[in-house]
């Protein structure tokens, strides 16, 4: 009797336990493995894409900085030439009033300095802007900052164009 009871328990434990564990553990683990692989691939692809986007933003910014700095330099040369022209006009004829032109050139200088400082601030803050996870928003921030710098440059250019027009209006005599 004891022998029959012992064999009954052994056989029942062998038959019941494996069938239950094999039915519940295998399908869930395969499904979890597949979802984890897919999630890791998606995260890897997203990180590669965001790295490429960050690099493109850096390249765009670098090219725009070169262009803007060249424009600022050209405008600075123009300011210097206008100032020398004003000095020559003052030397040649003391009756001509150049205060309006001088004020316009001073405004252009101040606006150009604003553009330079804004560009320098943007250069220092670029890496902080790119550190976040969303490159698309970062690109919009970089573009908006560059647009403000370009706006300052346009304003300075307009002031210089007005100054040049006023200088031409001052010289009404014989041209030497």
Continuous H helices in the chain = 2-92, 99-130, 135-170
Integer Cα distance of 60 and 143 in angstroms:
9
Q: Is residue 124 part of a domain?
A: yes
Integer Cα distance of 35 and 149 in angstroms:
47
Quote the domain boundaries for residue 57: 52-176
User: Quick one: pLDDT at residue 117?
Assistant: 94
Number of domains in the chain: 1
146 contacts 64 by C-beta, under 8 angstroms: yes
Nearest in space to 86 (alpha carbons), one of 28, 8, 163: 163
The residue whose two tokens read 């300075």 is: 156
For residue 67, pLDDT over 80 is answered with yes
User: Quick one: pLDDT at residue 145?
Assistant: 86
Q: Is residue 20 part of a domain?
A: no
Q: Is residue 62 part of a domain?
A: yes
The residues, ordered by sequence, that sit 6+ positions from 75 with a Cβ below 8 Å of its Cβ are: 108, 112, 153, 156, 157, 160
Q: Is residue 96 part of a domain?
A: yes
3-59 confidence digits (pLDDT tens): 776 677 676 666 655 444 445 545 568 888 888 888 888 888 888 887 888 888 889
User: Quick one: pLDDT at residue 119?
Assistant: 92
Q: Is residue 149 part of a domain?
A: yes
Q: Is residue 75 part of a domain?
A: yes
User: Quick one: pLDDT at residue 171?
Assistant: 54
User: Quick one: pLDDT at residue 176?
Assistant: 40
Q: Is residue 10 part of a domain?
A: no
Q: Is residue 118 part of a domain?
A: yes
Nearest in space to 76 (alpha carbons), one of 118, 100, 124, 110: 110
Give the rounded distance of the alpha carbon of 51 from its chain centre.
14
126-176 confidence digits (pLDDT tens): 877 777 777 677 778 878 888 999 999 999 999 999 898 888 776 544 444
Indicate the pTM of the whole model.
Answer: 0.68
Integer Cα distance of 97 and 89 in angstroms:
10
């Amino acid at each position: 009797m004891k022998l029959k009871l012992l064999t009954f328990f052994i056989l029942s434990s062998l038959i019941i336990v494996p069938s239950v564990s094999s039915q519940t553990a295998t399908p869930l683990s395969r499904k979890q493995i597949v979802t984890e692989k897919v999630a890791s691939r998606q995260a890897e692809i997203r990180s590669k894409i965001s790295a490429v986007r960050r690099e493109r933003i850096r390249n765009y910014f670098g090219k725009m900085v070169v262009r803007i700095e060249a424009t600022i330099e050209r405008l600075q040369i123009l300011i210097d030439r206008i100032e020398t022209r004003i000095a020559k006009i003052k030397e040649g004829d003391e009756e001509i009033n150049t205060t309006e032109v001088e004020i316009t050139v001073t405004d252009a200088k101040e606006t150009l300095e604003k553009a330079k400082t804004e560009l320098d601030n943007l250069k220092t803050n670029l890496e902080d802007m790119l550190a976040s996870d969303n490159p698309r928003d970062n690109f919009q921030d970089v573009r908006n900052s560059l647009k403000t710098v370009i706006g300052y440059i346009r304003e300075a250019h307009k002031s210089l164009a007005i100054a040049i027009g006023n200088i031409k209006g001052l010289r009404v005599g014989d041209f030497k």
